Amino acid sequence: MRRKKGQKVDGWLILDKPVDLTSTQAVNIVKRIFNAQKAGHAGTLDPLASGILPIALGEATKTVPYAVDASKTYRFTLHFGEARATDDAEGAVIQTSDQRPSDDEIRAILPRFTGSISQVPPAFSAIKVEGERAYDLARAGEAVALEPRQVMIHVIRLLARSNPDEATFEVVSGKGAYMRALGRDLAIGLGTCGHIKDLRRSAVGPFTENRAISLESLKALGHSPAAFEHLLPVETALDDIPALALTATEAIRLRSGQPVGLLHRQDRDRIYELAPGGMVRAMAEGRLVALTRFEAGELVPVRVLNL
């Protein structure tokens, strides 16, 4: 059997991604610094966007779907009067308008963009069209027609208005919402056109700015014990999933793919109360053993972790 390159490194690194760097490039840099065997990220950030990019190393990659599903917080500045091909400052101008909305008009329209809304993703996005990335097709000059999708916008608020051409917003959204599309549609709804001038993500679920490290700082630390101090436990991405402590014997059963019956009534009652039919974090000796589903009085392993 071929040995994996790198070391076994498990945990989450919360990177404050700089602009002009793709999410994949950022992951590769972090993977090299930690000399990790495996790495991935929880939610793509555009090259022109900065902010929170949670990077999973080793066994943390098994918890990526739960981080991706978490709510996300963004701040962006919308520039009125110019629509661009990419819906951000990188693309060519494709439409102009002299119309500029007032603060009151902006606040009045925000409820229309709150809750479950229909959104057509930007043509320049990573969505696949017949096996090809939409942005590759768009860059090749092909017309890209993406289907509208329902996304959740929990909160959208106007933060600042530095001049008539610009407005800064804060948004808390669910999975799959594109801020570039939201900015584009806001401008259209206000009777003008526009694009996002700058975009920053300030949170992904439990991963926030106060836990983040810049790429510059991480590079300065290099492959040192100080760098490893910035790794968060694998279970950080699972904060909202209830945990249950198991015995060493029960942990062995789960690790071998076998279900564990909850013999103690207090355990059964607690799981019924917190997550009927839902996910449970199985813990043993303070370590995450597996993600399980509670079914018919048993914990059934869904994803076993080797920590």
What CATH number is attached to the domain comprising 179?
A: 3.30.2350.10
Q: Are residues 215 and 93 in the same domain?
A: no
pLDDT class for 204, splitting at 50, 70, 90? very high
pLDDT at 91: 87
Report helix, strand or coil for 77.
strand
pLDDT higher than threshold 70 for residue 275: no
pLDDT class for 264, splitting at 50, 70, 90? low
Q: Cβ neighbours of residue 161 under 8 Å, at least 6 residues apart?
A: 103, 106, 167, 168
Burial string for 70-81 (b: 16+ CB within 10 Å, else e) reads bebbbbbbbbbb
What six digits make up the tokens of 154?
Answer: 């929990």
Question: Quick check: is 239 catalytic?
Answer: no
The residue segments making up the domain with residue 286 are: 241-304
Q: What is the mean pLDDT of residues 106-118?
A: 97
Q: Are residues 252 and 161 in the same domain?
A: no
Q: Which regions of 106-234 does DSSP assign to beta strands (E)?
A: 115-119, 128-129, 132-133, 149-163, 166-173, 194-204, 207-208, 213-214
Query: Which of 10, 16, 20, 46 is an active site residue?
Result: 46
The one-letter code for the residue type at 127 is I
Q: Are residues 185 and 96 in the same domain?
A: yes
Give the torsion sign (CA, 245, 249, 255, 258).
negative
Tell me how many domains the chain contains. 3
Which of 204, 228, 262 is a domain's end point?
A: 204
**Angstrom distance (rounded) from CA 195 to CA 180:** 7
Q: What is the pTM of this model?
A: 0.87
- Would you say 294 and 280 are in contact if contact means Cβ atoms under 8 Å apart? yes
pLDDT higher than threshold 70 for residue 219: yes
pLDDT higher than threshold 60 for residue 81: yes
Share of the chain above pLDDT 70, in %: 87
